[in-house]
Structure 1
Amino acid sequence: MDALLMCGGRGTRLDTAVEKPLVELCGRSMFDRVVDALRDSCVNTTYAVVSEHSARTRARARERGVRVIDAPGEGYVADLGFALERVDRPVVTVVSDLPLLQARHVDDLVAAADGGSCTACVPVSLKRRLGASIDDSLVFDYRGTDVCPTGLGVVAPAPPESTPDSVSTSDPVTTPNSASTPDHSEPDSTVYLSTDDALALNVNRPTDIELAEDRCA
């Protein structure tokens, strides 16, 4: 299975002097951290999805031997749809601002997906406890609990009637270490619910950098 590492955005909320994926935590860029986690996982090939907004990240990807997909830079959903048309599925998708990602997170999610689509989510209450920033537009209810996507997922092959860029971020649920039955309103998708602190820290604001550095190795 391959992976799409999404790193073509502007990163305006972080407001740093370098491109967002190249922000360093404990001496290593977020881009390098995610690449290393993917390489230690079951992923075979990683593609960095870049754009005109991330020219230096493109250069860093080539230095690391990471294949590059040049997307339009028109936003996450548009760039992901563009990239999905250029790789085989199922494929792992991950954002570059998830710097505490570990190989086991990827492997566990791929196992839970079992050839289908799967979105890793965390409870909003966990992010609040950590003091991490929350994008309210991504929050949705799952069985009475507010959850939000982490930016890590698996996208399955599109059914014949679907368009290549039809990607859901609020799908039914499969929780780790459980035998719960997915909600079949979206039979090709599940949500993998995690309470791991590492998956709850997306670096979107300066305060997130401090939180991640307190936990990075």
Structure 2
Amino acid sequence: MIGLVMAGGRGTRMDIPGEKLLLYHKKPLVLHVVDALVSSNCFSSVVTATSPNSPNTEKLLLENQIQTLHTKGTDYVEDLTFALSNFEEPVFVVSGDLPLLDHTIIQDMVSKHQKTSSWQSFVVSKKFLEQQNLNLEYSVLIDDTECYYTGISIVNPKSGTTNETHTILDDKRIAVNLNTRKDYDLFKNS
């Protein structure tokens, strides 16, 4: 399995100077995510998808000998589609803005991999988000439970169909996603 960190976004909702994935939480955010994937020992390789929108992030990754895949930076879906087209084996896709992600939760998600699914998305329940005073953007209804996407999926890029399944995993380590300045300020002050 390949670990793929999506690290090419503009980060416009953060309303900060510079690139979002270079924000610090003990180290640059993107390095925290990469290190979590590497230390999980679940992947044959870890690759980051960068774009013209993230030149300083790409520079940092290359300086740290982290493999990068350069995308056009048009939008997330197009960049992800291009990145996935480069792989033959299943890909663990994660956003580069998850500051609490660690190797144990990654190991747990990989152990829950549904090999028959072409696209397995990890989600958290609305109830869990409310209990944690957190917000995520995109929702899906799963067996009468409102859930939200975490930005983490396991994808079989060579599957001929898009058979999406959902795994509910109510865990703060995958629910805290730094999309806006408010998210970052809440995280910094917690």
**Taking structure 1 as the reference length, what is the TM-score of the superposition?**
0.80
- The structure that is helix-richer by fraction is 2
Q: Look up the match of 1:196.
A: 171
- Write the deviation string for residues 67-88 of structure 1: whole angstroms up to 9, x where unpaired: 1111111111110000001122
Check whether the contact 1:132–1:202 (CA below 8 A) recurs between aligned residues. no
- Write the deviation string for residues 6-33 of structure 1: whole angstroms up to 9, x where unpaired: 01111111111220111112x3221011
Matched residue type, 1:61: L
Q: Distance in 2 between matches of 1:35 and 1:134?
A: 22
- Post-superposition shift, 1:190? 2.5
Check whether the contact 1:5–1:95 (CA below 8 A) recurs between aligned residues. yes
Q: Which runs of 5+ in 1 are unaligned?
A: 167-185
- Write the deviation string for residues 29-67 of structure 1: whole angstroms up to 9, x where unpaired: 210110110011112211110110000010111122111
- Write the deviation string for residues 127-177 of structure 1: whole angstroms up to 9, x where unpaired: 233232331xx21111111101111111014334x4xxx5xxxxxxxxxxx
- Write the deviation string for residues 76-130 of structure 1: whole angstroms up to 9, x where unpaired: 1110000001122201100011111111222222221143442110012222332
Q: Distance in 1 between matches of 2:150 and 2:169?
A: 9
The answer to whether the aligner puts 1:78 opposite 2:82 as a matched pair is: no
Q: Which runs of 5+ in 2 are unaligned?
A: none
Q: How many residues align?
A: 187
Check whether the contact 1:38–1:103 (CA below 8 A) recurs between aligned residues. yes
Q: Distance in 2 between matches of 1:133 and 1:12?
A: 18
The answer to whether the aligner puts 1:94 opposite 2:94 as a matched pair is: yes
The answer to whether the aligner puts 1:5 opposite 2:5 as a matched pair is: yes
1:23-172 → structure 2 map (5 Å cutoff): 23-25=23-25, 27-41=26-40, 42-115=42-115, 116=117, 117-135=119-137, 138-160=138-160, 162=161
- The percent identity for this pair of structures is 29
Please give the secondary structure, in 1, of the residue aligned with 2:187. Answer: helix
Q: Distance in 2 between matches of 1:13 and 1:126?
A: 24
**Taking structure 2 as the reference length, what is the TM-score of the superposition?**
0.90
Please give the secondary structure, in 1, of the residue aligned with 2:106. Answer: helix
- Post-superposition shift, 1:193? 0.8
Check whether the contact 2:5–2:48 (CA below 8 A) recurs between aligned residues. yes
Q: Root-mean-square deviation (CA), in Å? A: 1.7
